[in-house]
Amino acid sequence: MGEKCATIFSFMLATLLFIAILAKFVQNKKKNFGKGASKFPPGRRSWPLIGDSFSWYSAVASSHPPRFVEDQVKRPSTISTTIKSFFFKMFAERQVAINLMVNQLFGVSSESEINKMAQLFSDFVDGCLSVPIKMPGFTYYTAMQARETIISKINKTIVEIRRREAATEVGNGVLGRLLEEESLPDDAIADFMINLLFAGNETTAKTILFAVYFLTQCPKALMQLTEEQDSLRSSSDDHMLTWQDYKAMPFTQCVIDETLRVGGIAIWLMREAKEDVEYQDYVIPKGCFVVPFLSAVHLDENLYKGALSFNPWRWMDPENQEKRNWRSSPFYAPFGGGARFCPGAELARLQIALFLHYFVTRYRWTQIKEDQMSFFPSARLVNGFQIRINKRLDELKMQ
């Protein structure tokens, strides 16, 4: 019953929000039109109230989200504006990633503490993309409760670290390091920690999943990557990778780039025009949502030949070297760009490379169920990517 009420409330609130956004949109449109030579960017304006939510949903739930942009944009254009409002809940298939993040950020190593924190964080993430109703029974309410508990735990840890005067000791994770910066107030530190947990949580884990998925579909790439990683392995006695090893993985880097191009988990970004923005002959009116649709660029056949296929060798082509610069290329931006560029990009790439190294040099696997990508409610493989993993024969012999 409670759940039913929550659904009705959610629906009503969503409808009200749609209307409010629409009203704002119409108001802005009126205000900005007929102001001279400037015009609205090309493309459909979408339906009243529902916007393009249905076509958006059907595109992102498929394995080819750029279809949304392809359907919208009648002639080539890099900008598409639309009204959108959608509420969705994320799936909870991220335990391992959360555990790792909790361990690294807070320096917590007790398993029960990590699990408790991970559960709280999972509740928090679920509520971040839900209808904001702060009443018991609603996901948002649970999330806000979880957030409070996380903050109070962070504050307790801060007090404890200070009491032990252990902030300089290695092992306190990012939290300990932040405390060394005495100028930061405690609530800013707590906020920063929560943001980091949120941003770094699923991203790397999902990209690793997609990398293994693509490699499974492309045995030739898997073989070349394994050869590269095997050669690095045999060159060091203790099997520990060094920074030099990391820098000597050209093909692995191509695999990472291609994974981020075909299966980049940030398929689009969200911005709001804070003022009228002029772009070429057009004006994007203040208040409009602007959606830079990254995957529409990454999967554009005009930019990438055979854009839909996983082809890591394309990044060896001298013609693609300029395009490849993920820090500044307008054609390849898996980590965003500009002021909000992902600060975890280098770390994520390193983690992916390390994972691939240890995975392919130690294990073999077989996919046991067909799968496909979907990007709703978040990037995932619809059947959970079921594989059977075995230790490599040479690994077994060494034991």
Q: Which residues are annotated as a binding site for heme?
A: 342
> Exposed e or buried b for every residue in 43-56, given b needs 16+ CB within 10 A?
beebeeeebbbebb
H helix runs in the chain, sequence order: 2-32, 53-60, 67-72, 95-106, 111-128, 139-163, 173-180, 186-217, 219-234, 243-247, 250-263, 294-298, 345-362, 393-398
Q: Which of 7, 27, 195, 328 binds ligand HEM (CB under 6 A)?
A: 195
Q: Which of 49, 223, 347, 389 binds ligand HEM (CB under 6 A)?
A: 347
- Taking the complex as a whole, how short is the minimal distance between the CB of residue 218 and ligand HEM, in angstroms? 19
What is the rounded CA–CA span in Å between residue 321 and residue 314? 10
User: Residues 395, 397, 399, CA angle at the centre, nearest 5°?
Assistant: 75
Binding of residue 99 to ligand HEM (CB under 6 A): no
175 and 105 Cβ atoms separated by less than 8 Å: yes
- Taking the complex as a whole, how short is the minimal distance between the CB of residue 61 and ligand HEM, in angstroms? 20
222 vs 265 by CB, closer to ligand HEM: 265
> Exposed e or buried b for every residue in 363-396, given b needs 16+ CB within 10 A?
ebeeeeeebebbbbbbbbbeeebebeeeeeeeee
- Taking the complex as a whole, how short is the minimal distance between the CB of residue 169 and ligand HEM, in angstroms? 22
The number of residues that bind ligand HEM (CB under 6 A) is 20
Annotated binding site: 342
Q: Which of 10, 80, 122, 204 binds ligand HEM (CB under 6 A)?
A: 204
Give residue for tokens 């057009």.
282
CA-CA-CA-CA torsion for 143, 145, 151, 153, nearest 10 degrees?
-110
* Residue of 190, 192, 90 lying closest to 148 (CA atoms): 190
Q: Which of 42, 43, 132, 336 binds ligand HEM (CB under 6 A)?
A: 336
What is the rounded CA–CA span in Å between residue 385 and residue 397? 28
Per-residue binding letters, 109-138, with ligand HEM (x by CB under 6 A): ------------------------------
Binding of residue 361 to ligand HEM (CB under 6 A): no
Contacting range for ligand HEM; rule: CB under 6 A; set: 40-48, 264-272, 318-326, 387-395: 264-272
> Exposed e or buried b for every residue in 311-350, given b needs 16+ CB within 10 A?
bbebbeeeebeebbebeeeeebbbbebeeeebeebeebbe
- Taking the complex as a whole, how short is the minimal distance between the CB of residue 394 and ligand HEM, in angstroms? 30
114 vs 348 by CB, closer to ligand HEM: 348
Binding of residue 342 to ligand HEM (CB under 6 A): yes
42 vs 336 by CB, closer to ligand HEM: 336
What is the rounded CA–CA span in Å between residue 43 and residue 40? 9
Contacting range for ligand HEM; rule: CB under 6 A; set: 212-220, 245-253, 261-269, 301-309: 261-269
Binding of residue 330 to ligand HEM (CB under 6 A): no
How many CA atoms lie less than 13 Å away from 386 in the CB half-sphere?
Answer: 5
CB closest to ligand HEM, residue no: 344
Binding of residue 348 to ligand HEM (CB under 6 A): yes
Binding of residue 8 to ligand HEM (CB under 6 A): no
Binding of residue 159 to ligand HEM (CB under 6 A): no
Please name the amino acid found at residue 292. Answer: P
Binding of residue 254 to ligand HEM (CB under 6 A): no
Provide the binding-site residues for ligand HEM, judged by CB under 6 A: 195-196, 199-200, 203-204, 207, 264-266, 269, 334-336, 340, 342-344, 347-348
